[in-house]
Amino acid sequence: MRIPQALFALSFVFGLGAQALVAQEAGGASRTSASTGNAGIAMGDSAVEPDAYRQRRFHLGFGRLFSNDRLGDGKDRWRTGSYVISNVRGYDWDGELPDSFGSLVEYRSRSEIIAPSNVSNPDEGARRHAGVLSFGAHTMWQYEGVELALGADAVFVGPQTGLGKFQKWIHERTDNPLPDLSDQIEDAFYPTLTFEAGKTFSYGLLDVRPFAQTMIGSETLVRFGGDILLGWVGHKDVWLRDVTTGIRYAATREEEMGGSIFIGADVAKVASSKFLPGDEGYELSDLRKRLRAGYRVQGDKLGIFYGMTYLSPEFEGQSEGQVTGSVQFKLRF
């Protein structure tokens, strides 16, 4: 097994075993306020002093998001599928980002499959197939009311990821056209930095959050946009942004039950993309646009999110945009 494949397999198993790991680590002595409704961490009967207790980070939550165009426009092309697992750790969580850099950390594992419009018989000039695996760490904090996030990811691309073979295996078992893997993006590794700044304006059940983002690495771009949350749940969660769709997915789960609507949009100027190399004749679209909407319902034991995202054409040879669907399930045992 190649290194990127082994790393992703380990991260996937790690994600599936989240509940057991959390229970073992916490030992019943700590919970975030998102889970208990109390500010900070509830110590229970622990005799640990507060200062010593805060010297170690605790597991605050897992965030996952699965996206696939089969859940959107029903087609299998371009940004066809992705899956992200995020493990968030910090000293405590009271519904607001900490003031100090590095106090709240997200460890992220992510996979994505990019494909031509016809996966089994690509047209001349179609975008090439690419498997993408990334592993990184991001930190989130606030400064004078501005929410900041900075992270670095190791992005692996090409046949070394094994995602092309995985897609072929899935298609064989679902009676779908088999992908042509003869012209994949070559094996490569791209260190990638991402920075985002945003500010949330709250009006009762309504949160409005404009943001700006820049990325340097596998894709180099500058992006501006905004997100709206309207409803009863999600106002005090740790929020993370999906790379492909821009959807913000929750890593924690607050006590409130009910539903919330999510709407977002952004526009990006892309300087370069390793998935659409200019030296191969690809001409990037002048602007890359995304429009997304979703609904989250939270019960006592189960929370479900479903959203859809419109992605505008990314290069001049792409005939139209696409719609992808995203789902998240959060369980409480």
Tens digits of pLDDT across the chain (333 residues): 455 555 555 444 444 444 444 433 333 333 444 443 433 433 333 334 455 555 788 999 999 999 999 999 998 899 999 999 999 999 999 999 999 999 999 999 999 999 999 999 888 889 999 999 999 999 999 999 999 999 999 999 999 999 999 999 999 999 899 999 999 999 999 999 999 999 999 999 999 999 999 999 999 999 999 999 999 999 999 999 999 999 999 999 877 899 999 999 999 999 999 999 999 999 999 999 999 999 999 998 899 999 999 999 999 989 999 999 999 998 876
Distance, CA of 139 to CA of 79 (rounded, Å): 26
Domain 3-331 sits in which CATH superfamily? Outer membrane protein (2.40.128.140)
Distance, CA of 15 to CA of 260 (rounded, Å): 25
184: nearest Cα among 247, 252, 126: 126
Q: How far is CA 321 from CA 116, 123, 184, in A?
A: 13, 17, 22
pLDDT of residue 254: 77
Q: What is the DSSP letter of 235?
A: T
Task: State the angle between helix axes of 3-16 and 18-26 in degrees (0 to 180), rounded to the nearest 10.
Answer: 70
Report strand pairing: 58-68 vs 322-331: antiparallel
Distance, CA of 213 to CA of 195 (rounded, Å): 6
CB 250 within 8 A of CB 229: no
Q: Count the neighbouring beta carbons within 10 Å of the beta carbon of residue 326.
A: 24
Question: 235, exposed or middle or buried, with CB in 10 Å at 0-12, 13-18, 19+?
Answer: middle
Question: 96, exposed or middle or buried, with CB in 10 Å at 0-12, 13-18, 19+?
Answer: exposed
pLDDT of residue 26: 38
Report strand pairing: 201-203 vs 146-157: unpaired
Distance, CA of 165 to CA of 171 (rounded, Å): 10
pLDDT of residue 82: 98
Look up residue 274 and give its amino acid.
K
Distance, CA of 218 to CA of 193 (rounded, Å): 9
Q: What is the DSSP letter of 187?
A: P
